[in-house]
Amino acid sequence: MKSSYSNIFSFNKKILKKTVKFLMQGNIASLPTETVYGLAGNAYSKKAVKKIYNLKKRPKKNPLIIHYYNINKLDKDVELNDNFFKLYKKFCPGPITFILKKTKSSKISALATANLKTVAIRFPSQKIIRAVLKRINFPLAMPSANKSSALSPVSAFDVFEEFKKKVSIIINGGYSRIGIESTVLDLTGKPKILRPGIITNNEIKKYLKVSLSKRKSKIKSPGMLKKHYSPGLPIIRNIKLKYNTKDAFIVFGKKFKNRSNFFNLSKKADLNEAAANLYRTMRKIKNMGYKKIYVSKIPNVGSGIAINDRLKRASK
């Protein structure tokens, strides 16, 4: 077993040192975060950023999130504003990404931001990614570590499944605690949520006025329009329970009986637990060889908004 996963490493001082050096040389490593696993490279290096796009087969017009340890020297790269400071104090480090204006002197590679005048920035809280960020003097461009449009990875083994040995260092940080990607919030004008997450609009509303971007409005995130987060099988949502189906059935809550083809995201009807189980469950269903996934109704409140957003995109 061990040899086939020879690029998956447990976290210790030695691998930390090796990873830091590897990133400084312009290479790409896969690192755990509290949301999902990422593919990390020096955001100031065009060469490194190009490797990320190539590995993911990601369209060049879909920009990457740039990850920082904290706000030291951040104003060199992006224009900070009051709304940003309010939310930074409250939620960072944590699962939230801010869109801000790029400064003229910004060192972030234009490729990483798809030539836009804005940058997506995030301060992850997971201890391994933070240990790495603390030891390098550049931020990390880091999209989720999956092929473009596929399911995001929530374990080192999921990353291995996506890229095999094409990524030489994958650090094992166990299952991602949150399990879905960060909330993306545009702060360049009137605050707007571009991608819902575990930090909900209701929580953000305590600090500033914010709206949820409507799909039909002009979307600022090119990558958010297309089919995404897909396990590669048809997903049919909001289905009333079919006890006779042979297909996989994703359910939520107490009332469901156990069946071998039923996958309960949270028996105790906890939406955060359901979010943490979402990608894991879809990946498992795909690997078990099912051809179709039905999903029962999931409450569209709190973290349920983000879950339904991902399921909706996966079902496109």
Residues in contact with Mg ion by the rule CB under 5 A = 144
> Toward ligand TXA, which CB reaches closer, 110 or 288?
110
Question: How many residues make contact with ligand TXA (CB under 6 A)?
Answer: 30
For residues 189-218, which are near ligand TXA according to CB under 6 A? Answer: 194-195
Q: Judge whether 143 and 33 are in contact, CB under 8 Å.
A: no
Rounded to a whole number of angstroms, the minimum distance from the CB of residue 144 to Mg ion is 3
> Could you tell me the smallest distance in angstroms from the CB atom of residue 239 to ligand TXA?
27
Nearer to ligand TXA, 23 or 248 (CB): 23
- The DSSP secondary-structure symbol of 278 reads H
Task: At 267, list the tokens.
Answer: 């028996």
Burial profile 211-238: b = 16 or more Cβ within 10 angstroms, e = fewer? eebeeeeeebbebbeeebbbbebebebe
224 binds ligand TXA (CB under 6 A): yes
For residues 169 and 176, what is the distance between their CA atoms, to the nearest angstrom? Answer: 17
For residue 230, the 8-state DSSP code is B
Say how far apart CA 247 and CA 113 lie, in whole Å.
41
CB of 235 to ligand TXA, least distance (A): 19
Beta bridge mates, 294: 236, 249
239 binds ligand TXA (CB under 6 A): no
Shortest distance, position 62 Cβ to Mg ion, whole Å: 9
Under DSSP, is residue 10 helix (H, G, I), strand (E, B) or coil? strand
Convert residues 48-67 into a mask of x (bound to ligand TXA by CB under 6 A) and - (unbound).
--------------xxxx--
306 binds ligand TXA (CB under 6 A): no
Give the shortest CB-221-to-ligand TXA separation in angstroms: 3
121 in Cβ contact with 65 (< 8 Å): yes
145, 39 contact by CB (below 8 A): yes
Are 122 and 66 contacting, i.e. CB atoms less than 8 angstroms apart? yes
- 33 interface partner picked from ligand TXA, Mg ion, none, CB below 5 to 8 A per type: ligand TXA
149's contact among ligand TXA, Mg ion, none, with CB below 5 to 8 A by partner kind, is none
Binds 184: which of ligand TXA, Mg ion, none (CB < 5-8 Å by kind): ligand TXA
Q: Where are the beta strands (DSSP E) in the chain?
A: 8-10, 29-31, 38-42, 65-67, 78-79, 96-102, 118-122, 140-141, 170-172, 183-186, 192-195, 211-212, 235-236, 248-251, 262-264, 293-295
Minimum gap (Å) between residue 32 Cβ and ligand TXA: 9
113: contact with ligand TXA by CB under 6 A: yes
User: Least Å distance between CB 83 and ligand TXA?
Assistant: 16
What residues line the site for ligand TXA (CB under 6 A)? 33, 35-36, 38, 62-65, 97, 99, 113, 116, 118-120, 122, 124, 142-144, 181-182, 184, 194-195, 220-224
